[in-house]
């Protein structure tokens, strides 16, 4: 019998369980034996591989995190370590693998593909930083968590005439900050795409305070500024009492919203269909309303498209 495996790697993202469920049940539908690899590439190298049946993925579509577990495993960059992973798969008769994660996960899949394992990558990351797809699994759930937090902060900021600095995740991609800034009605966003002119930014906040605006919300992508230090500078220059809030890993958790459940399910089934057709070394993505697939190498190197119109929208409405 044909055998495939599924795994999650890197940071967890809401919707990963829905993707695992889809791979398992679609795999069984197409006549595969399906295996789950626990704790990502680390578990693959340690032989932490289990058989999965249909009932094993019951009642997980609505759960956050990943039932297979995840891990970051730098040793997988070594070819000698990857050889162990390949042997573990082939010893069980598995020659096809669906990996769910971000760009680091894709790089691991690319390396395995070069060693003879047929890999399909699914974009599972809250950061939305995979350029070969419009949206990644987990992005919309994390966005909803952020927007709900901003709504609550806005209530208290308005009551006390404060400025709130909200740091969100995203690594090198500003989509979480951008979309949350629009949906939360924030006055300012700071992302890798906008750059950061501190002097101009502080002057704008000073003007905002002087013209009688009762509050301000500033959404910042992580690793650009130190939010608590920035809050202190805003308070000193603008006159707003200012508080910084770092949302941190609360953005990763929670039950996936419907969009992520549907996206993950469709992508998981699409991945199995590709394997069933003998197609491999692909990354699945969403373009408009359609699922697409690209060579993993292309997906890793594709230049990211920046939604300039949305950035302008924030500036016009503040």
Mapped onto helix, strand or coil, the DSSP state of residue 275 is: helix
From 12, 127, 134, 260, active-site residue: 127
What distance in Å separates the CA atoms of residue 14 and residue 142, rounded to the nearest whole number? 8
Straight-line distance from the first to the last Cα atom of the chain, in angstroms, rounded to the nearest whole number: 60
What distance in Å separates the CA atoms of residue 81 and residue 90, rounded to the nearest whole number? 15
Listed residue (231, 271, 245) closest to 5, CA to CA: 271
> Taking a C-beta distance cutoff of 8 angstroms, is the pair 4, 35 a contact?
yes
Instruction: State CA 204 to chain mean position distance.
Output: 32
Token pair listed for 3: 């055998």
Listed residue (271, 283, 277, 278) closest to 6, CA to CA: 271
127 has catalytic annotation:
yes
Mapped onto helix, strand or coil, the DSSP state of residue 225 is: coil
**Residues in contact with 120: Cβ distance below 8 Å, sequence separation at least 6, in sequence order:** 96, 97, 98, 99, 109, 271, 274, 275, 279, 280, 282, 283, 284, 293
Which residues are identified as catalytic? 127
């Amino acid at each position: 019998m044909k055998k495939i495996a599924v795994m999650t790697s890197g940071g967890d993202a809401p919707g990963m369980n829905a993707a695992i469920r889809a791979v398992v049940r679609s795999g069984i539908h197409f006549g595969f034996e399906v295996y789950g690899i626990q704790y990502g590439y680390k578990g693959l190298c340690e032989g932490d591989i289990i058989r999965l049946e249909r009932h094993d993925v019951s009642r997980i579509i609505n759960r956050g995190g990943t039932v297979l577990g995840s891990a970051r495993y730098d040793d997988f960059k070594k070819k000698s370590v990857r050889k162990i992973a390949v042997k573990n798969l082939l010893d069980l008769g598995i020659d096809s693998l669906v990996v769910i994660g971000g760009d680091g996960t894709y790089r691991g899949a690319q390396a395995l593909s070069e060693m003879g394992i047929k890999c399909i990558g699914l974009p599972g990351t809250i950061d939305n930083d995979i350029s070969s797809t419009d949206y990644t699994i987990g992005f919309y759930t994390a966005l909803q968590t952020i927007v709900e937090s901003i709504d609550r902060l806005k209530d208290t900021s308005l009551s006390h005439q404060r400025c709130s600095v909200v740091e969100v995740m995203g690594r090198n991609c500003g989509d979480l900050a951008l979309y949350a800034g629009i949906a939360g009605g924030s006055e300012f966003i700071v992302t890798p795409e906008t750059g950061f002119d501190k002097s101009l930014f502080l002057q704008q906040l000073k003007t905002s305070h002087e013209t009688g605006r009762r509050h301000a919300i500033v959404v910042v992508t992580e690793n650009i500024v130190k939010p608590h230090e920035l809050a202190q500078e805003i308070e000193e220059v603008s006159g707003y009492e200012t508080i910084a809030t770092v949302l941190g890993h609360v953005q990763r958790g929670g039950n996936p919203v419907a969009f992520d459940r549907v996206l993950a399910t469709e992508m998981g089934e699409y991945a199995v269909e590709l394997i069933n057709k003998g197609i491999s070394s692909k990354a699945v993505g969403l373009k408009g309303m359609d699922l697409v697939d690209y060579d993993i190498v292309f997906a890793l190197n594709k230049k990211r498209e920046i939604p300039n119109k949305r950035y302008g929208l924030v500036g016009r409405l503040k």
